[in-house]
Amino acid sequence: MISAKAVVRNALGIHMLSAGAIVETCNRFKAKIWLQKGKRKSNARSILDIILLESPPGTQLTIEADGEDEREALDALLALFDRNFGEK
């Protein structure tokens, strides 16, 4: 298992479209992937779980990945956060 920190930087925080982009990215990989905010840990393949994390701009999340392609999955999610989920 590997993990890394990511900060939500887009203007609206994590909402339905950004959560959908996270799920879509996760579905390209076999690894199990979670997002964690404080003590709350959510399945990164579930839009509802991601939305329930309540992550406005500035929120720091921990991304955890476990499985054969965990490094690739983590790198793809970090890149998604760095690109602000494709938002301006």
Rounded mean pLDDT for each run of 10 residues along the chain, 88 residues in total: 97 95 97 97 97 96 98 98 90
Which structural domains are found in the chain, ordered by start?
A: 2-86 (3.30.1340.10)
**Are the beta carbons of 6 and 64 closer than 8 angstroms?**
no
Q: For this structure, is 15 an active site residue?
A: yes
**Whole-number Å distance between alpha carbons of 64 and 73:** 9
The pTM score is 0.94
Q: Which of 9, 15, 32, 41 is catalytic?
A: 15
Res 35: pLDDT: 98
Res 52: pLDDT: 96
